[in-house]
Structure 1
Amino acid sequence: MTSGRQPRLPRPRRRRLPSPRPAATPRPVSRITGPGRGDGGRFRGRGPFRRGATRTRTRMVLAPATLLAVVCGLLLDGYLHAEVGNDARVHRSHPSRSVPDRLRHGGPVLTFDRDGRATEHSVPSRTVALTFDDGPDPRWTPEILAVLRKHDVPGTFFVVGQMVVRHPGLVRRMRQSGHEIGVHTFSHVDLSYQDTGRVDRELAQSQLALAGAASVTSSLFRAPYASEVRALDDRTWPVQRHVGAKGYLSAFVDADSEDWRRPPVKEIVQNATPDGRKGASVLFHDAGGNRSRTVKALDQYIGRMKKKGYSFTTITGALGAQSANHPAGAARVWQGRALIWAAALTQAALPCLAGLLGLVGAAVIGRLLMMVVFAWWHHCSRARRRYRVVQQVDDPVSVIVPAYNEKECIANTLTSLAASTHRIEILVVDDGSTDGTADIVEAMALPNVRVLRQQNAGKPAALNHGIAHARHDLIVMMDGDTVFEPTTVRELVRPFADVRVGAVAGNAKVGNRNRLIGAWQHIEYVMGFNLDRRMYDLLRCMPTIPGAIGAFRRRAVLDAGGMSADTLAEDTDITIALHRAGWRVVYQEHARAWTEAPGTLGQLWKQRYRWSYGTMQALWKHRRSIVDRGPSGRFGRVGMPLVVLFQIVTPLCAPLIDLFTVYGAVFLDPVRSLLAWGALMLVQLLGAAYAFRLDRERYRALLVLPLQQIAYRQLMYLVLLHSCVTAATGALLPWQKLKRTGEVDSQRARESVR
């Protein structure tokens, strides 16, 4: 097929369109074409829709990669606060028959040899090893460090891995100040309830965090909820033996300040003071709550003990051993830094995502409330009833049916049109079909049916071809897989009694709704398309006349420049162009058409991918309407922001609701998270029920609404995300012709809702 430019349609002042030139020289259909759908033309816009060289494979990776990044970020943030399935149990005392008695009454430090035998070690007299658990904390750890620096004494900090990842700078300050660092597990879980695999993960992840934060590892360990060695029992002893076999020193305490109970400062000091001149490993906390009393008590405690002649050291210093902190290998350091960087990115992004979630939730509920209120207003409006009850339009109508390989559906389509109660002529424009579609139409020999043949040039060219040959000024356009009811055309053209109306959008319904995927689309058509069309109708900014059923004045189409091939969504393109040309576009709910929705997920993906990308193209093409005056500016400043917000931004962000629901159920409060999600689901169910009532649909289809929100919405999200990536990269998208089965005809469609 040769390439070239198709002649433009004549201007409005000419009443009769001339015969088109041979279809062998069509105008390029679109910047996005594929086999059998055009000659490889390009969309002439700039910016996001420029021509690009990115491969389709890259686009296919970027879309799910974006979703995966968000999911991984949520998982990482949740894990930094509590591991999946976090066990909050804390064991109580048990018998201690398996624990050697000498250990339970010995020193606070245990070491294990290769044979598993434990040795206890005590702190020398007049020596204090200050230890701090549960940090680092950005509020209290710096104050603890300041007190230690003031008195020039070292401390041993048993840090929690999750806190290290979130505040690595504090760990580096500890090391630079000469303090010792020990492991206090990664998530502060009671190890006595965990298997050895979980214990090993807690240790390994803590070491990774230390390596990333301070380039060190530690052989010093203290188990949560097990401060004193005399508390060892048959549940905690196996854990200590397992940890000791891995080369760790287990550190307990001789004196517990019990600052976690927040007693008076004087009592904290008294609790931490050893008897007589005994040495002691003393426990304080630098995290886990308000530690202001701990800071004051520590300052007094160090001064008091120094006056008594005590010296201060670390745990290993008290044993006369080398430091428990060792340089980490380069690989471990970079792995740890990667974990910390990922955590930092997640912590920075999560508040943004949470804020975005609030906006999305408000937008979803706001959109639903707007649609319901405007739909009620639309339903009660006398102006809309006037078209149905009083006004009557008897002018003949030309029905244009563009057809490309529609042999499965075309007979049902024409049969339904032949039963119309309105005077019509039918023009079937065969767009280079290779399956004998035109032959089927001619063989039917229906009255008032003409077949126009052209070389394959795309749907817009086929519609323009039909307009050029139409005999009447009122034109109805429909798809080749759609069937009309006998009264559809009559109802559809009634709004043309108002001379200001240039186009009418009909009520498209899913005919093949008996399967699950069809039922999902049925809900979407009734609630997501037809309900919001009532809102757009009242706001006078209808964004799309569905290709399945739409009526136009010939003059209005000419004013808009004809059916354009600049985008994949020619229906949205022409609708916006009509608004900009000053014509009113209205919605006629009583004009029903039954269309065959995609029957598989693959077909659905192709259709919605084309729709969403084509809509973005149309919005970009008409972006100047935002600054225009008159009717064009009205649509640009009212309709376009609504379309962008409700059809692109909100659906693109809506899965955050589901992601945060799962996040809350796993990491936070499952009951409250599920109740919040259920409340939102109930609001949507009520909105859908009202939409079904307006369309006089049976409520039983709403039984699949929860599953639609869980599964179908994620698919639509991926489609929209994929379209956004396509727009950003300027990659090429094939037309992607859908398979048809011909299972929808007007009789069976009506019976399906009885």
Structure 2
Amino acid sequence: MTRHLKRREPRAHWLLLALFLTVALAGLCLNGYVEHVGAEGSGPHPVADDRPAADEVIEGGPVQRPAADGTVTTSAMPAKTIALTFDDGPDPQWTPKILDVLARHDAAGTFFVVGAQVNRHPELARRIVDAGSEVAVHTFTHVDLSSTPAWQRSVELNLTGNAVAAATGVRATLMRPPYSATPDAVTAAAYDAMRQAADEGYLTVLTDLDTRDWARPGVEQIVAAATPEAGAGAVVMMHDSGGDRSQTVAALDVLIPRLQEQGYRFTTVSQALELPAAPPAEAGLRLRGHALRWAQVGSGWLAGAMTWLMLAAVVLALLRLIVQVWCARVHVRRVRKAARRRKRYVGTVSVIVPAYNEAANIEATVRSLLANDYPNVEVIVVDDGSSDGTAEIVRRLRLPNVYVVEQENAGKPTALNTGVMFARGDILVMVDGDTVFEPDAIGELVQPLADPAVGAVSGNTKVANRGGLLGRWQHLEYVIGFNLDRRMFDILQCMPTVPGAIGAFRREAVVDVGGVSTQTLAEDTDFTMAIIRAGWRVVYAPDAIAWTEAPASLRQLWRQRYRWCYGTMQAMWKHRRAVVESGASGRLGRRGLAYLTMFQVLLPLAAPMVDIYGVYGAIFLPPLQTAAVWLGFTALQALTAAYALRLDGERYGPIWSLPLQQIVYRQLMYLVVIQSTVMALIGDRLRWHRMVRTGAATAHARTHA
């Protein structure tokens, strides 16, 4: 006797997914910090304490070192000594041109670099040092230090120091706060930042002469602003990044030789004040800098890729919607034209009802089938080893043309095939045991089979238990996704699934494919694809309506959708050769399978990254922009839902629940796809997950009787 051991489904992938998403979010947040927090051009922020600093600060020299005891040491440039300083770089366009001008006139300068820029262009930082100039700190993101908390100041200084160390091999010792100017403009808040920088080993360099070259006032005005009063030395502030710096480059070519002729020398701040040379960076500091650079570069690539992914998803969603709406309109006209024709009798119908523990709904299902207005209908209930008395319930009804066949539990596909063997009709309607038919459903369902090319017809499944959020969400999903998709598949002649709840089949087509396959868990999808590949058409009859009981809990929903998704993947893989075949099979492969692959596998697999990008946008992007995108997406969904509901003759009320659907339901659906993909890749077998019935379809039938 063979023992079947219950295998635990692998769970390590959830840990890996959580780790991957955490790393991805961290990377995006790093990119967001670099690109959107204090970035160049954002300007200074209001500060809590804008009182002037102490007199010794605002009346001191431009180079200042606050001490722990509250005192400050200041220094100024010696006479006829100019320290040209350049903020906000390095810039790939302007920094090399400025270095060329300095080299041409045998001058040096001090470049206060932004750490994020150094990570983007480390070769420029090395070129600055190799040219005899020096590199100093100007924070990592150009944030206003006077308006930031102490922890962020420390991060900004440390990250920039790491970046400089990795790029140049030296440890920077000079610092200039962004948005600073001359000492007399230092506020109490700015002085606090300078004191913290001193505690971390940095000497603050302000300026004597602010050229305001960033405003592009003209070459002569920049030269005049950079020229000190007779014989005085000065720290001169310029910029080598942040916009068009052609006037700065031109002004240097005028200023340097003009003042050199007057006996001025142009050197670095450290050389002018005879400060110690920047010491070599420790190995650990360089290592952290390299790690930071690669993290920043990687986060930039990730953000760029995510932007393209979002754009692709939006474009695909819009194209899908356009195709769906166009196909729906064509299909509606086709259905209306067909409805004007008188209904025809197309042959004897045998309804096959596979039932396993369906006591809650089976009576309502059978009665609704016999109450249909189509003549010559027989109902065959195949009890698949039920333990709740399903077969006995049907027998006690003593209804005409209702037959009960009992078998050992062998699964739904086998039960369907058993029903086919006992059926006498040329048309086989296959119905789930929890489904209640509308009175005209069978007649509407079988009409397309008057066309001898049609081998199968999909009916319109509606959710009976649509109360509560979960019920509303599934109702909308059925109406929007299932029915809009089926109309499109019908027009494109690539219908991949006739649902188990309501479908009609020509016996000849069933025989052609050897009956219902037992090789996949999505037997309805597998069966439908086989029929198409055999050369038959599969169409959709939206007016053939059946009510089914949807899962009433998240756990049941997970189990159902997990089986559906995994089984659909099995069926797609089984029929993969349809992609290279011709005729009806080729249409299934290149249209139906491609559509399922894109919209039911690949995009759901990418959905977690889209959500992570949404979190990133909520944190770092402008709130109005983020809100506009979200509202636009939700509005598009609502319009789609309204159109689908209108086509199906449903009320618009459930649309209000759509925004909430994004919080729970959507995530559950893409997690189902992830779980199914993992199970498919490792080659594991998924056991059948049966849903517990509550009798919702029966209750619906009684309410609308």
**TM-score, normalization by structure 1:** 0.85
1:636 to 589, 592, 600: 589
Change (3 A) 1:607 1:145: farther
Query: CA separation in 2, counterparts of 1:561 and 1:301?
Result: 91
- Partners of 1:573 and 1:92 lie apart in 2 by 65
Cα deviation 1:365-404 (Å, max 9, x = unaligned): 121122122212211226x642674132363322222233
Write the mapping of 1:322-401 to structure 2, written as runs, cut at 5 A. 322-324=276-278, 326-330=280-284, 332-381=285-334, 385-386=337-338, 389-393=341-345, 395-401=347-353
Please provide the CA RMSD for this pair: 3.2
> What secondary structure is seen at the aligned counterpart in 1 of 2:494?
coil
Change (3 A) 1:390 1:350: same
Structure 1 residue ranges without an equivalent (≥5): 4-32, 41-53
- The CA deviation string for residues 205-229 of structure 1, in whole angstroms up to 9 with x for no partner, is 3334334444554332211111211
Cα offsets for 1:563-614 (capped at 9, x unmatched): 2233222211111111111111111111112122222223323322332232
CA gap 1:297/1:658 in 2 versus in 1, 3 angstroms: same
SS in structure 1 at match of 2:456: strand
Q: 2:684 aligns with which of 682, 707, 732?
A: 732
Measured after TM superposition, the shift of residue 430 of structure 1 is 3.4
Q: In the alignment, is residue 222 of structure 1 matched against residue 176 of structure 2?
A: yes
Match of 1:475 among 419, 422, 428: 428
The answer to whether residue 81 in structure 2 is matched with residue 164 in structure 1 is no
Please tell me the residue identity of whatever aligns with 2:353.
Answer: V
Where 1:505 maps in the other structure, the secondary structure is strand
- TM superposition shift of 1:178: 4.4
State whether structure 2 residue 237 is matched by structure 1 residue 283.
yes
Q: What is the deviation of 1:329? A: 4.4
How has the CA–CA distance of structure 1 residues 69 and 101 changed in structure 2, closer, same or farther, with 3 Å as cutoff? closer
Tell me the equivalent position of 1:693: 646
Cα contact 1:661–1:674 (8 A) shared by 2: no
What is the CA distance between 1:262 and its match in structure 2?
0.9
Instruction: Give aligned-pair identity as a percent.
Output: 48
Give CA-to-partner distance per residue, 1:508-540, whole Å, 9 cap, x none.
111111010111111111011101211211222
Q: Does 1:116 align with 2:66?
A: no
Q: Give the superposition deviation at 1:171.
A: 2.8
The answer for the alignment partner of 1:564 in structure 2 is 517
- Aligned length in residues: 704
1:291 shift after superposition: 1.2
Match of 1:748 in 2: 700
Cα 1:161–1:650, aligned 2, differ >3 Å: closer, same or farther?
Answer: same
Equivalence for 1:57:
11
Structure 1 residue 278, shift from structure 2 partner? 1.9
Report the Cα distance in structure 2 between the residues aligned to 1:532 and 1:94, rounded to whole angstroms. 58
Match of 1:404 among 332, 356, 364: 356
- The alpha carbon displacement at 1:703 in A equals 0.9
C-alpha contact (below 8 Å) 1:84/1:666 kept by paired residues: no
Matched, 1:249 2:167: no
Taking structure 1 as reference, are residues 468 and 147 closer, same or farther at Cα in structure 2, changes over 3 Å only? Answer: farther
CA contact (8 A) 2:431 2:500 kept: yes
Q: Alignment partner for residue 416 of structure 1, among 362, 368, 389? A: 368
CA distance in 1, matches of 2:618, 2:12: 34
SS at match of 1:356: helix
Contact 2:38/2:141 (<8 A) preserved? no
Q: Is the 8 A contact 1:409 1:481 kept in 2?
A: yes
- Cα shift readout 1:102-122 (whole Å, capped 9, x = no counterpart): 332221111133323211011
- Counterpart code for 1:574: F
Q: Tell me, yes or no, if the aligned pair for 1:368 and 1:684 is still in contact at 8 Å.
A: no
Aligned to 2:146: 192
Aligned partners of 1:407 and 1:143: how far apart in 2? 84
Change (3 A) 1:216 1:741: farther
State yes or no: 1:465 paired with 2:398.
no
Pair 1:179-2:133 in alignment: yes
Hey, what's the Cα distance between the residues in 2 that align with 1:625 and 1:369? 26
The answer to whether the Cα contact below 8 Å between 1:416 and 1:746 also exists between their aligned partners in 2 is: no
Match of 2:552 in 1: 599
- Greater RCO (CA < 8 Å, at least 6 residues apart): 1
Displacement of 1:95: 9.2
Query: Do the aligned residues in 2 keep the contact of 1:594 with 1:746 (CA within 8 Å)?
Result: no
Aligned to 2:495: 542
Residue pair 1:481, 1:740 contacting (<8 A) in 2 also = no
Post-superposition offset of 1:251: 0.9
Q: Given the alignment of the two structures, is residue 308 of structure 1 paired with residue 265 of structure 2, yes or no?
A: no
Deviates more, 1:239-248 or 1:544-553: 239-248
Cα deviation, 1:412-449, whole Å, max 9, x if unaligned, reads 43343343444433333333445554455455555444
Q: Which secondary structure does the structure 2 equivalent of 1:250 belong to?
A: strand
Distance in 2 separating the partners of 1:278 and 1:624:
84
Choose which of 222, 233, 238 in structure 2 pairs with 1:268. 222
Offset at 1:266?
2.3
CA distance in 1, matches of 2:554, 2:52: 61
Alpha-carbon distance between aligned partners in 1 of 2:561 and 2:5, rounded to the nearest angstrom: 16
